[in-house]
Structure 1
Amino acid sequence: MTTVSNLIAALMVGGLALWAQWARKSRAAEISLWVLILALSFLTLLVGVLLVVTSVSGAAASIVPGRLIRLETIGMLVAGVAGLGLCVPPLLKILGRSRGGKWSEPPVFLALWLFVMVLFTNNLVGILGFEQVTSLGARSLGEGARLSPTTVLGTELPFVIVAVCGVGLGVRRNLRQTLARLGYGNLSLRGLAAAALFVVAALALSPVADRVFTLLQPELSRRVGHLSTSLFGTGGMSPSQAVLFALLLGVGAALGEETLFRGAVQPVLGIPLTSVLFASMHLEYGPSVILIYLFLISAGLGLLRRHFNTTTSFTAHAAYNTLSVLIPYFLGSP
């Protein structure tokens, strides 16, 4: 069910992204996109207000913990207000009171709006409410079940759909132009060497990050460790099964995440904002210091994309994920 809902959400976002590309050359489409985003922002704010009323009345107290309600409420209110604020520059451009800049261009405007919506209404709520979310099972983090090929496909395929639609496949660009815009090209020897250096550095930094996590947040570290073992553990697998599982995680996750974050989003939002979004997507780590490590990983991949291409960052990401699974399996390290 989660896979189906992810695909439906991806198709909806992809449709908005294609609409935004069409709005670059159609004033009617630009105005209608602005009206829709304004309405959705207002609706988000209204939901936040209704959550305030619900919290005050205590109507949902027996269903959802108060802390989670408060986080959902704050997330909706902030996202709604920010979404309405983002609608101002395009409005001034539409009214002819401003020439408009980069931030009022329909695809960039939509990207910023989605960044705000996803960050505040889903990611930060899921991270800050990690304890309540996992205990309620309110979000499908997969606790108690190892990731399956279907789950990986259902998680990563939507990223690819959103990415290719976001850069205008079929509206603004053909397939070759789309791949070029996403940064896919030849992998040079220098790029391969840079990817290998990244993987070595990331793997060397990983146990340091884990150690800091354990020292600073021991209880959260235990819970996250249990969840991570459930999702990514290779216990009971044969060597061939472990290799296939590692490649599934490595190649599958890298393809979806690099295509979206480094390929489509980074040229618009830049490395810092892209890295914030990338780290916040990893709800399974909760409000932990590991998110800082993930931000640094994303920034490193972003530099590979900037100085080489997305093929290079994909290679590094896939190799890092694959080795992160195989090293503990074959060497017996935690």
Structure 2
Amino acid sequence: MAEVVAVAVTAGLIAVAFGLSFWVYHARHDRSARVGLYLLLGLPGILLIVAGAAFLVGQQRDGLTFLLIGLSLTLPLVSPFRALVGRVIPLDPRSPVHMVGLSVVITAMVVFTISLINVGTDVATLGTTEVSYIELIAQAVLLISLAYAAVGLWVARGFSEASARLGLRRPTFGTVGIAIGFVVLGFIVTGIGGVMTEIFQPGLTESIDEVMNESLGAFQNPIGALAIGISAGVGEELLLRGALQPRFGIVLTSVLFALLHTQYGFSWTVVGLFGVGVLLGIERKRYGTTAAIITHALYNTAAVLLSSMY
């Protein structure tokens, strides 16, 4: 039943993503569509700000959460704010595409930061729901679809143009060699993060390993490890490094990448993942997204296989 729900939810989210993509790209030339985007993001944002302020006055715990999410939705709608951000990252303050993208990215960062803070170091509170192969595939398809929707597939670009915008190139032996080199660097960086966790947060590593081993379940074998490697490598890299990085830069994209991994709790391991994100960002910038996909896939595959041995 969970698999049917996962497929249905994935299909629905993909439909929403491409519908929003059509709307956003159409707003480049249609004033009414642009006004609609302001209403779509502004109304819920303002309501959340008002609710958050009211809850804070009443000293209720969720007030700050509502307020921050409301601000993250509405601030990107303000032109001077976009102009300010545009001084730091390659963003066009006049583009409705970049406006909506900025709103979505900032909101996602706020939500995942709050989630990470709520988890803290008690990763056991996350539970240990085992993921199936169908759910894994559905997640990968969703991320790939979001990446293509973000760059305007079938609206502003054809498939070949969209793939080129995402940084996809035909891999060569040189690409694979570079990717393997970055895998080694990735393990060094996460190793440092793991050591820091052991030193400053003793006992947390064991809790993380326990949660991860139970959630991986049937994937702790060569085929399962490869499935996780490919799904995460292709999905996450296409969306983060392929679609988002050219507009939001390596640092912000790496922060979002680290925040997505709430299963590690508020730990030095997450800092290590930020470092891995920076490495993948540099790799994408210099060698293309295909190289980053190979690195991510090989890294995850090796990590799952190693975790199954110990």
Q: Displacement, 1:188?
A: 3.1
Structure 1's 91 and 201: CA in aligned 2 closer, same or farther, altered over 3 A? Answer: closer
Q: In the TM superposition, what are the counterparts of 1:110-259 in structure 2 within 5 Å?
A: 110-120=100-110, 122-130=111-119, 143-232=127-216, 242-259=221-238
1: CA distance, partners of 2:120 / 2:190: 24
Is 2:103 aligned against 1:103? Answer: no
1:266 Cα offset (Å): 0.6
Distance 1:48 1:6 in 2: 30
Match of 2:45 in 1: 41
Pairing of 1:43-82 with structure 2 (within 5 A): 43-49=47-53, 51-52=55-56, 56=60, 70=61, 72-82=62-72
Structure 2: tracts of 5 or more residues without a match? 84-90
For 1:12, the equivalent position in structure 2 comes to 16
CA change 1:234–1:200 in 2 (3 A) is farther
**Partner residue, 2:300:** 321
Q: After superposition, what is the alpha-carbon deviation per residue over 1:234-277, rounded to whole angstroms, capped at 9, x for unaligned?
A: 69x6xxxx111001100011111011001111111111111111
Gaps of at least 5 residues in structure 1 are 57-69, 94-100
Could you tell me whether the CA contact under 8 Å between 2:112 and 2:262 is conserved in 1? Answer: yes
SS of 1:158's equivalent in the other structure is: helix
Deviation at 1:8, TM superposition (A): 3.4
> Quick check: 1:31 aligned with 2:35?
yes
Tell me how far apart the structure 2 counterparts of residues 20 and 226 of structure 1 sit (CA, whole Å).
Answer: 43
Select the residue among 19, 25, 29 that pairs with 1:21.
25
Structure-2 change in CA distance of 1:257 and 1:174 (3 Å): same
The one-letter code matched in structure 2 to 1:293 is G
Deviations 1:133-189 (A, max 9, x none): 9666xxxx5x33433212212333221121111111111111111111111111133
1:81-100 maps to which residues of 2 (within 5 A)? 81-89=71-79
Counterparts of 2:274 and 2:228 in 1: how far apart (Å)? Answer: 19
User: In 2 relative to 1, CA 53–162 (structure 1 residues): closer, same or farther, beyond 3 Å?
Assistant: farther
Residue 286 (structure 2) aligns with: 307
* Residue 269 to residue 5, structure 1, CA distance change in 2 (3 Å): same
TM-score (norm 1): 0.80
Q: Distance in 2 between matches of 1:323 and 1:290?
A: 17
Q: What code does the residue aligned with 1:302 have? A: G
Q: Identity, % of aligned pairs? A: 26
Q: Residue 41 of structure 1 aligns to which amino acid in structure 2?
A: G
Task: Give distance in 2, aligned partners of 1:75 and 1:207.
Answer: 33
Structure 1 pair 10–254 and aligned structure 2 pair: CA distance change class (3 A) = same
1:285 — aligned with what?
Answer: 264
Bigger drift between 41-50 and 252-261 goes to: 41-50
**RMSD, aligned CA:** 2.7
8 Å CA contact 2:192, 2:272 repeated in 1: no
Between the aligned partners of 2:168 and 2:206, the Cα distance in structure 1 is: 39
Deviation at 1:194, TM superposition (A): 1.6
Quick one: distance in 2 between partners of 1:9 and 1:154?
11
Aligned partner of 1:64 in structure 2 is none
